Amino acid sequence: MFSYSQKLKSSQLIQPIFIEEGLKSPKIIKGLGQNYSHTLKSAKKMIESDLKRGVKNFIFFIVPKKKQSRPQNFDFHYKSLSNIKKKFGKRIIMIVDTCLCSITTDGHCGITHHNKINLKETHKSLGLAALTFINAGADIIAPSDMMKGTTKYLKSLFNKKKINTPIMSYSTKFFSSFYGPFRNAAKSSPKKFDRSSYQLPVNDRKKALQSSITNAKQGASFLMVKPGITSIDLIRDIKNKTKLPTGAYQVSGEYASLQYLSKHKLGDFKKLYKESLTAIHRAGANFIITYGARDIAKNL
């Protein structure tokens, strides 16, 4: 899965899908072109359309209405994911973003206590979330929390449960200013303090490489850099050091920048977009999570 080829292929692209509880109709995500926060019904309709366009890999972001200080109830996640997997089965690869930011009351990726992360409680919630997603039909679990030891914790939990579901770790994820449109869609803007205590500093290359190496040792099957375009210098080194498939997330701010240039007649979107993906692929990415997978898949 996600093998590298000399030419970028549609099978290497992953399309994000947002499902938000409480919506009566799809809601446009500002800055992200034809990406919407979906109802379950509209999400299924969108996926059907995407399959016809040549997209089969999807990463799901589930946004529940009720927030929790210590997340334990993932019923809306289960309902949404199981419904979709039941409809599409093996026609799609269901990757599920595994984080707490869209369900916690303060928008942080972990459970907080006195402006600090409670790692033990965070791992418990992430483990419960991951098992829920797997029971709902997830093909791949993608922890994006950037907490210390998450991959190790999940791998140990899976082994105890005799679960073979692969882990796609957000293994090198920077404390970045390019996440704005996503946070609006996921309702995950952090409160009280920022995420610099658990996301990586942009200027520390050594720490960035080590983070992926550590996640590889802890049991990840796939690794990832995020943001994509600003991290392309790391991809090949990570692959060489870990021997694992490594991809990139072209994040919402990066994609929105291309949309902005096109909207203001400062560039042709199709050309801008294809060039950006080509650069990420040229850097060695085995897969690319990108908001325009559906728009380019048939042209690859």
Residue type, 19: I
- Helix ranges, 164-296 (H): 180-186, 205-217, 232-242, 252-263, 269-282, 293-296
Please say whether the beta carbons of 115 and 79 come within 8 A.
no
Could you give the CA distance from residue 212 to residue 156 in angstroms, rounded to a whole number? 18
Backbone angles phi, psi at 198, to 5 degrees: -130, -15
Catalytic residue check, 265: no
Name the residue type at position 86: K
Report the Cα–Cα distance between both ends of the chain, in Å, rounded.
18
226 part of the active site: yes
Question: Apex CA 63: angle with CA 59 and CA 68, to 5°?
Answer: 130
- And the tokens for 140? 């791949």
120 Cβ contact partners less than 8 Å away, ≥ 6 residues apart: none
Peptide bond just before 227 cis, omega within 30 deg: yes
Catalytic-role residue among 173, 206, 263, 265 = 173
Q: What is the CA radius of gyration of the chain?
A: 18
Helix %, strand %, coil % for the chain, to 5? 45, 20, 40
Of the listed 44, 155, 226, 239, which one is catalytic?
226
| Residues that are catalytic | 173, 226
